[in-house]
Each structure stands twice: as C-alpha cells, then as structure tokens.
Structure 1
Amino acid sequence: MQSQDVAPRPGPSSTASSSADPVVDVEQAEAALVEHYPRLVRLAYVVLPPGLGRGRRVLTAHALTQRALPRGRTSVPVIPAQSTGRDGDLGYALVRLQVLRAALQASLPLKRTVWPKRAQLPPALPQVWGLKLFPRSGGADELALDQRLSALSGQARAAYVLRGLEKLPDDDVRTVLTAAGVADVDTALNEADEVAAQYALLESPEFDPCSLQARPTDLMRRRQHTKAALAAAAAVAVCGALLGLPGDGWGRDGAAAPAYARNPSAQAALDPAKLTRAAPTTWQSSARTDFSVWPARGELTGDQGLLRRALAVWARPGATVRVSPTRGTPSGGPAGPPQLLYAGTVDNARVVILYDGLRIARYAEPKDSTKGAALDFARVDGASGAEASAVVLGRADGNVRYLTAPWVKEAAERDLLKPGSGAMDLPLADGTTAPLASPAVRTGACTSWNVLQVTDASGIRLLTDLGELVPARLTTGRPGSAHDASGPQSQRAWAPFACSLSAVRAAGVRSVNAWEFAAQPLPDASGSAAWVCTRAETWRGDGTRVLAQFHTPGGAYGAVAAKAQDVPACGPRDPHVLAGVLWKSAAGSWYLLAAGSRGTSSISATGGVRGTANGNLLTVRTRQGAQAGLSATLESGRVINGLG
C-alpha cells in the first residue's frame, strides 16, 4: 500500500540517545546505502576538500560512503529527505548524515598535537593500482562551478550540496549541518549564498565519482618500484622454500595454510580416499531424508587433487581464502572424514560440496588456478525433507544454480509476487538446475521475487535464496501447523509480503512462515484489510525475526506495522500476536487500527489515542501522527502488548 496511507506503528519510540529520535536498524541503513549509493558518493565528493586532487577525492568519497553503515541500531534526527524516492526514509537520513560528517572531518587540517580522525587519513580501501581515476570532464559551466565551490569552506560546500542535490529547505539544512557537527551554521549558509544556485549542474558527470575515466600512473616510477618488489618477492620465496622443506610440504594443498601439526585424526580427515560416499540408491530404501543419503555427484568426484585441496583448505584456510560462514556456523575443520556430495565444474569454477553431519561446506576455486579460492559454510543440523532439498552450487551474473536432493523429481522457477503467472521449468542434469535469477543480490526496487519450486513424492515446496548456501523454506499457516506454500492459495497469501524477505537476508534463516492472523473491515466502506505475521526461524535458534504486516485491498505490497527479534510471539510456543497502524481512508480520515490473533478477548489503546474494543479488532478515529500504546487481554486472562 502507499506510504502516505500507513504511518509507522503506534507506540513510543525505541530508546536511544534521545527518546524523541526514531531508531534505525542496521538492515534499514544498509538498504538505503545500497539503493542510494551513487548519490551519497556524489555528496561526499562535492564536500571533500579540492586540495586532495580529483583522483584521491574519488577514492576517499567511496571509502567514506562505504564506512557510513552503523554497527547496530542507531538513533537519527527526523530530517525529511525531500528528493524524489527518499521522503521519510530514516535509513537514508542516517547514512547521509554519516557521510556528510565524515566528509567534513576529512576537510579538517592535521595537527601535531591532536590524534587524526579516521576520515582525515588516506583510505585503506578502495585502492586502485596502476591507474588514475577521475570523473568525466564537464562543460565550461560545470568547470566554473567546481572552481567557485573550491573557494568555499567545507561547511559551505555541504550547505550548497544539501540545498542543490538534496533539495532541502534551509531549516532542514540547518538541522543536518548541526547534527553533522558544524558549529556556525549561519556562516556556512551565508558563504554558500555567494555561489549562484546552479543546482542542476551538480547532477552532471563532472561531479559523478561513479562514472569515471582511467589513465595510467607514472610509468617510469612504477617500473622502478616493480623491480624492487620483484627482488623482495624472490627473497621471500627462497626463505619460504627453505622453511617448507621438512615433511611433505604444502604445495599440493593449494590455497591451504602450511601444516605443522601431525595429528592422526586430523590427517585422516584430510585424506580424500577416506571420504564418505552414499550409494546412489541409498535414499530410496532409507527412512531418512537428509543430506546423509545424498549420493556423490559431479564429473570430478574422482579428482583426488581437487578433493585434497578442498579438505586442506577446510582444515586450515590460507590468508588468501575467502571464508564465509553463515551466521552462527562454526568454521573449524571436520572432526573426521566428511561426506562428499558433489565435485564438478560450475560455470568458471571447480566446486566441491562436503557434509559433516552438522554443516555443509562449499569449496570453490577458479578453473585454471588455486588462487582466489573460497570456502562457504552453512549450518544444517536437523535438516530433513524440504530443508535438505537443495544447496547452492554457484552464483554468477545475478543468477544462482542449485544441486537438488536425489528425491527431487522436477524443479521450476516461480515469481512469488505473481502467483497467477505459473512456474517456468528448470531442466535438471544429475540433480543440477539451470541458473535462475536470485533475489538475494537485488539493490533496486523490488518488482519480482524468484523462488525455487521443487517437486518430490510429498508434493511441491518453495525455497528462496537469501544469499546463503542453503535456501530457506517458505511455509504458511498457523504456528504449530504450518505447511509448505505449495498450493495456489498459499502462494497468493505470500505475494504481498515476498519483498519483506529482504529484511532477513544473510541471517542464517532456516524457514519463513506467513500467517494471516486477522481480517479487519476498514472504515468508510474501504473493504477489508489482512493482518499477516511473517516469522523467520534460524538454524542456530536465536536471531528470530517477526514482522506484523498490514495489507489493504488493491495494494501490491504489505506494510510493516511492527517488528521484533528473539520473541516467542507468532511462533509455535506462543501463537498470539498484537499489532496496530495509523491508517488514512480515501475520505481523508485517520484511524488507529489494531488486531490480535485468535483467542484475543479485548484490545485497549492508551497514550495519544484511547479506546477499547471487545474481540480481536479495534478501530478508533484519531489524527495524523498520533502515538499510542497497545495491550490485549487473551481469553485465558493473560495480557500481551503490541509487537515490537
């Protein structure tokens, strides 16, 4: 539904540095940073001191923007973002403030008696070797504006760019600059007035550090430095060869770190000849439907060198190996010989998938080298049936390719946002699917959410990629009796809420359930709204995310009314939930709408909105921006509060 129709959930603001300031989750800030990254980098580039030079300003602007993500929940002053597409986005307001504050700090001169701030130091990352990068040159007007801005102070440039690029009125500019640490805001505004308001030029390539030209650095100096580096590398190589002479050496282990200890159990776990392999027909006669009955597949299951490298890197990954464990997953070596599930070529990489009873480990290396190896882990303890139906083989160009369980008969790609559009078949080759578009890498607007549909003897199951090694299972139904989202009705129930799955990406999610806990008639003859609770369960047990969402007739998407983490609400242990929203009818009237799950005998609103209703639904007329607290009494006599 439209953002102007549903206000944030009623209730007091979360406590932070100021009780009047709303709190922004790191996930919300990350989404805003990714979506508006080019604009944030442009803002930093304009504010940074011209004395850095265009090349260093580019890299510094990118570095400051990439460091703008907060470490956790952070309060942010309510500063409206007037530019199109960002109005009311608190995540964007927060990262913009962080970028602006860092850019202003970078403009400060270094002093011997004061420890430098991080923004004043050259960026460690990103770095580009052998090239000079700078924005494309504009016309005479752009060059003249750049020269005039160069004569201003950093605070004045910040005021100018907030007026021009962000289209903020002066009152909001004052608020932003004050929050960024500017002591004399009036002076900054007056100084910015000295430059003509040619704001449209700020959108030109002259000020775009994301659209760059490249030129070489000093070639003669580079040649001299290269010769010196080669001589040093040769000396290191000789020393390394001498140190590696005792024992078997470690060259055959690829990207693994050197092996110094000789523990017999650890050595047995690294022997590819001792890998466990299930027979191709074991799954047909076994009562188990987990990874332990998967046969070894792929054309490289006999490549002993590849398997040894995979095992060695798992036991002791070298400094160049990219290790990515799912949250809460231990990344240490296997306790004994693991089970081989796959070894083969996927796109441009050689891939090995192993299972040790607790974890899935995926080793990948380039086809023509052992450099650039990667090792991914996912926790899968207790996985069975649908949860053991697929593993990610590889990702490329925004697509994902899966290895499916031997009991999977068919695979297809389905857009969860369009339940009536049908599914597109995905050919299976020895359990390997054709590539399908992954929603896990999306950075723009959510216009589709493609999921993997697998069919086995039990029926159809839907699995979604959340950026991890094992896809998450999608279910519907009341907690305690949830079932796979296999039928048309279940898929229609998921459609308005599919995009909310992005809130649990990379969180170690095992399954996500969507449950319509109430239907509420809307005032002013506006139809009926659905209240849906989505609960994401994780493999590790903690980190559970619960969203209460509100969906009105004709709306393409549900609106998040409340959210909470690590609570039993809306789960098998406590299926009760209570949530509310401020809603504006087509007639222009504002209402507090609240709903509880089955078993709610009454609901009460307190604070800025007061009202009580018997049953599980509450409708109270109110005004825009009102704040309220919610509580409900269950039929058992127990009192619960609103989610969040």
Structure 2
Amino acid sequence: MQSQDVAPRPAPGSPADRIVDVEQAEAALVEHYPRLVRLAYLVLPPRLGRGRRVLTAHALVQRALPRRRTSAPAIPSQSTARDGDPGYAYVRLQVVRTALEAGLPLRRRALPRRAQLPPLLPQVWGLRLFPRSGGADELALDQRLSALSGPARAAYVLRGLEKLPDGDVREVLSEAGVDDVDAALRGADTVAAQYALLDSTEFDPCSLQARPTDLMRRRQHTKAALAAAAALAVCGALVALPGGGWGPDGAAAPVYAQNPAAEAALDPGRLVKISPAAWKTSARTDFSVWPARGDLAGDDALLRRALAVWARPGERVSVSSTPGTPSGGPAGPPHLLYAGDIDTARVVILYDGLRIVRYAEPRDGTAGAALDFARVDGATGAEAAAVVLDRADGNVRYLTAPWVSKAAERDLSKPGAGAMDLTLTGGITSPLSSPATRAGGCTTWNVLQVTDASGSYLLSDLGELVPARLTAGRPTAPKEASGAEALRTWAPFACSLGEVRAQGVRSVNAWAYARQPLPDAGGQAGWVCTRADTWRGDGSRVLAQFHTPGGLFGAVTAQAGDVPACGPRDPHVLAGVLWKSEAGAWYLLAAGDRDTESVRATGGVSASGEGNLLAVPAKQGAQAELEGTLEGGRSIKGLR
C-alpha cells in the first residue's frame, strides 16, 4: 500500500527522473559496491601495482557520492537490477571519470587532481592486499588490458562488465571527459571479447589476499608505530563517546561517522510493519505483505540492536550469507517480519526487498550474536511461503506465510508413508527433523509440506534461511512435487539433495525423462535429471541419475554446473552409465529424453542406435563419449 504523502515516481526519461538525491546515490553505491569497485580496479592503470589499485579503487568508489542533489547522465544500464536507476548511472560515471583521471601523468605546472594522488583512506598498515590469482586466461587478459590506453580499457570494461552497447559506451566516455572516443573503441576492439573473465577473482578487489610488508623496516619503526596507534586510539575513543554511542547497540561495531540516510534505515521506529490483514486484499504473495509477528515486535531495544549489527557487525558476531548475497546494511527502513523468543534465543527477521536477514542473540546477553543473510529477490508464492526461524538438536522450525493454512512433515524417500501434521502457532511450525546438518549416510529426507488456498507444495531445508522449492516434471512445465506421481519420481533421488546444500538454491526440479529395459532380463531402470537453480541466476547444478529395479536409491551418473541442459532454456538431456548385470556382463547404457532420435557412443565403446536409448556390451572401466541427435537435426552432447 502506497502512502498518500509520497510523490509519484516520474516517468522514465523525464527530467525529474534524472535528478539524483544523495540518499538515492548512496543506496545505489551500497547495493552495487562490489561491482563498482571491480569497475574502478579494471580501469585504473596497471602501473600502480595490484596493491595500490585495490586501495585506490575502494577510495574512488567511496568518494563517488554527490554533495547535493544533482542530475544523472541519461545513459541506461543494461542489467535489469540497475535498469533506469539514475543513482547508479551517476555513481558509475563518477567512478569511470576519476579512474581515468588517476591514469593521467603528473605535470609540473599543473596542480595534481585528487585521483592522481595516493588515497588517504582506506589505508592498511603492515599488510599488502591484492586480489586472488586467477588462471592463465585471466593473466593473459590482464596483460592485454595493461597495454591499452585508459579510455580503451574503460571501453572494454563497460562493454564486458556493464553489458553496455557501443552507443552507451560512447556517452559514458564522453561524459567522463574522453576526447577521442572513437580511438578508445578501436583500442578496445584489439582485445578479444573474453568478457566472462572480468567476473573472475583475478579482478575482484573485494576478495583479497594479505601478505606482510617489509618486516625489517617495520621493526625499525616500532616506536613510531606505537605512538601513531596510541593517537588513533585516543581519537577513536573521543569520536565514539558522545551520545548515541555504541554501547546500547550490543554486538555492533562502534560508530565512527554519522549519515542521516543510514541512521533513518537503522531507526526501529521507522521499521515497516504490515497489518495482519493486508495480504488478504493484496494481489501480491511475497514477503512484502507478511505481517510483523512475534512477542517482541514492540521491543525497540532489541530491534535497535538487530539493525545496528546488520549495518556494522562487530568482530565477535558470526555472519553468514548464501552465495551471491550482499551483506551490507539496509538502504532504507526494512520490513519487520518477526521478533520474539525462540528456545534460548531472541530472534529478529527482517526483509529489505532483496534479502531476508535473521539476527539472533542469547536471552542473557549479546555475546555470541549471529547474523544470517539470504537472497530472495523475486520470491513469490511457494518461494515466499516459509523462512527458517530456528535450528536446534537436528530439528528446524519455520515461520510461515500468513496465507499458509496447514503444515506437515513428509519423508521424501517414502512416497506412500503420508504426511504428519505439524502445529501452527502464530505462523510458527512445531519442530521437524532437518536433513540439512545431518552427517553420515542418508536413509530419509524430511521436507516441509505447506498448504494454502491454491494447493500443497514441498520445501526442503538445505541449510539456509529460505528452504528450496521442490518441483517435478518436464522443465518447460514443472509441477509441484506434492502430487502422487511427483512423489514417486522424487523418492529414489531424495538424498541427492545433499549435493546442493548451502549453495543458495532457489528450486530443485526432478524430471523422469526415460525408462530403459535392462539387458539380461534385468527389468526396467529409470533415468531422472535433477536441476537445482540458484537465487543469483548462475551456479546451477544438474545431476543425471540412474535407478535400477529393487534399489532403494538412485546413483548419480553425470553432473555439470552452469549448463542449460535439463532446464527451461534447453529441455533436453543425454547421459550414460556402465552397468553390470546379474549374469556378470558389463554394458554401456545411455538414455536421452523423448525428443532424441538417435544415440552414438565413441571412444572406449563404439556403437549407435535409433531412438533415445542405447544398450551395448562394454568392458569394465571403459570410457565413452556420447552424442545424440534431436528432432530437427540438432546435436546434443552427453552430460558429464
């Protein structure tokens, strides 16, 4: 529900849409800080050295905020996460401009620009910081980029990292003060378009290695260093002592600077608290319409501590986040979903439109506080039906969406066992067994079954804040895994979910793509492809699995990461396995989906056959390459 005293957002492209407030620019900088620092690091001249480039890149980005309201360049971003954001366009332009200025030579008769001088802040004493080393391809690309001029290097990075077309690259470079934009684009054309390498750790100034500086020189200057440290300690104490100091914030780190926008986001009085009935009239079924629940939802002291630790976790706070989830503070007042006592802890759950954040502290103090982040952008329906509230003694308790009317526990490996009802008290389930932290062999896999007005669906705890949604069926039209046929499909492969724990998984689909008669009267085997997709988009995991008659669980025969196979973009799969019959004979078995017209094996086994199945004699340990032909003539490689 939109407040009546909030001005409507201007239409994209209008003059008003291009006005950037300091708070808007700061929100863009905080949200996209790792990308902006990577952009600055890549554009800075390599002659500075990797260590100085790291510190300079952070300094340039942190100085990119405007001092007052200003206008943004009319240059769209190509990434959907930043599309049309004038704050991001402004900050990016400042980063490119100052990074190019840092590469200009110093002149005797001209005052140096700020970017040309070593940054005063940030500073690191006694350590040399530099990004982690990549592979040979990254090293070769870095060498080729170092041979380019600064504008040419910026053009290449804007094309590859920002995905900007040449027209927008021209505008960014012109706004940044580049005189000969055409020469910059021609220079960028001389380097092969290996844009995927720009996302590697070789060019990530936020993921660093540390090594000591000159130890002998440091020993000689010990007295000076001690004096400087004492002075810094005194200054820090003087800054931290005034009213609003860090004591009331519990486990949060000290406050060394004041920022009005940040303080507004950390004010417990400004937390967004949705009314309990709002979801009933809303067209949305996501976390934005969850009401604020819990017996401590009015405890301002607890909420203040949770927000403060979120913004600046202290050294003793245990912080975790799912892969690809930014862990910075909130850009504005977040939604409060829950605050209350659970077992021996006080728990606060917050939502900022992109992330679910869980703060937990012991009931008897703040020592041992924990902060967990999970990315949930775009979550709706089943994906926004539950959040992990607490894990203890091998069990997990969930906070469910207000539209969930029933919750139950089901063993995914036993489709005929039925579901055991769980009590729902204030949206909180009673404890159920969690497979997320189980050690040793797997014989069962318990999942949460929730029911709302549209039906039932299954969610699996994979060790993160938000459980993964389980589906079954052809990737182009998957169905909820709660149906009888879907449960039978999942049963032999339930334990394979352990392969994708703690990887930021959003959903897992199981597709029974083939049935194959086994040689030597071995019965019929099943082929299933499971695909786990993540919240961040990349990092998907595909497993081809094989199940023989009488076997309790299936076996993984092939796996791959970041491939379109077995997904909505490419709903096809081909996989094979060496199998030994009860008669002692070895066979190469292969199966593709129903659109496969023929299968061919080469290498250690040479054979081919019509249709989507292949079964030929083979030797133990034989290695074979598989290739299939789909309807229409397209080739498909076997999953490895």
Give the structure-1-normalised TM-score: 0.63
* Match of residue 496 from structure 2: 500
* Match of residue 357 from structure 2: 361
Q: Tell me the secondary structure at the aligned position of residue 439 of structure 1.
A: coil
Segments of 5+ residues of structure 2 without an aligned counterpart are: 1-132, 136-231
How far has the Cα of 1:480 moved from its partner? 1.4
Q: Tell me the secondary structure at the aligned position of residue 440 of structure 1.
A: coil
Q: Distance in 2 between matches of 1:433 and 1:419?
A: 22
* Match of residue 203 from structure 2: none
* Match of residue 531 from structure 1: 527
1:143-188 CA distance string (max 9 Å, x none): xxxxxxxxxxxxxxxxxxxxxxxxxxxxxxxxxxxxxxxxxxxxxx
Q: Does 1:256 align with 2:221?
A: no
The equivalences for 1:48-197 within 5 A come to none
Q: Structure with the greater relative contact order (CA < 8 A, sep ≥ 6): 1 or 2? A: 1
How far has the Cα of 1:558 moved from its partner? 0.5
What one-letter code is carried by the residue in structure 1 that aligns with 2:317?
V
Match for residue 600 of structure 1 among 585, 596, 608: 596
1:97-136 CA distance string (max 9 Å, x none): xxxxxxxxxxxxxxxxxxxxxxxxxxxxxxxxxxxxxxxx
Q: Tell me the secondary structure at the aligned position of residue 494 of structure 2.
A: helix
Q: Distance in 1 between matches of 2:369 and 2:628?
A: 54
The equivalences for 1:472-621 within 5 A come to 472-621=468-617
What one-letter code is carried by the residue in structure 2 that aligns with 1:482?
P
How far has the Cα of 1:241 moved from its partner? 6.2
Q: Does 1:270 align with 2:266?
A: yes
What one-letter code is carried by the residue in structure 2 that aligns with 1:318?
G
Match for residue 332 of structure 2 among 331, 336, 356: 336
Match for residue 416 of structure 1 among 388, 412, 415: 412
Cα contact 2:240–2:255 (8 A) shared by 1: no
Q: Distance in 1 between matches of 2:476 and 2:385?
A: 22
The equivalences for 1:616-631 within 5 A come to 616-631=612-627
Q: Tell me the secondary structure at the aligned position of residue 416 of structure 2.
A: helix
The equivalences for 1:352-431 within 5 A come to 352-431=348-427
* Match of residue 192 from structure 1: none
Q: Tell me the secondary structure at the aligned position of residue 268 of structure 1.
A: helix
Q: Distance in 2 between matches of 1:642 and 1:578?
A: 5
The equivalences for 1:191-230 within 5 A come to none
Q: Distance in 2 between matches of 1:419 and 1:617?
A: 28
Give the structure-2-normalised TM-score: 0.63
Q: Distance in 2 between matches of 1:460 and 1:536?
A: 20
Give the fraction of aligned pairs with identical amino acids, expressed as a percent.
74
RMSD between aligned residues: 1.8
Q: Distance in 1 between matches of 2:618 and 2:625?
A: 14
How far has the Cα of 1:238 moved from its partner? 10
Cα contact 1:602–1:633 (8 A) shared by 2: yes
Q: Distance in 1 between matches of 2:422 and 2:234?
A: 52
* Match of residue 447 from structure 1: 443
* Match of residue 31 from structure 2: none
Aligned length: 412
Q: Tell me the secondary structure at the aligned position of residue 559 of structure 2.
A: strand
How far has the Cα of 1:615 moved from its partner? 0.7
How far has the Cα of 1:72 moved from its partner? 13
Q: Distance in 1 between matches of 2:303 and 2:423?
A: 27
Q: Tell me the secondary structure at the aligned position of residue 311 of structure 1.
A: helix
Q: Tell me the secondary structure at the aligned position of residue 298 of structure 1.
A: coil
Q: Distance in 1 between matches of 2:535 and 2:451?
A: 23
Q: Tell me the secondary structure at the aligned position of residue 421 of structure 1.
A: coil
Q: Does 1:315 align with 2:311?
A: yes
* Match of residue 44 from structure 1: none
Segments of 5+ residues of structure 1 without an aligned counterpart are: 1-70, 74-235
Cα contact 1:459–1:486 (8 A) shared by 2: no
Q: Does 1:290 align with 2:286?
A: yes
Q: Does 1:345 align with 2:346?
A: no
Cα contact 2:275–2:291 (8 A) shared by 1: yes
* Match of residue 306 from structure 1: 302
Q: Distance in 2 between matches of 1:513 and 1:440?
A: 18
Q: Distance in 2 between matches of 1:328 and 1:435?
A: 29
What one-letter code is carried by the residue in structure 1 that aligns with 2:242?
P
How far has the Cα of 1:246 moved from its partner? 2.4
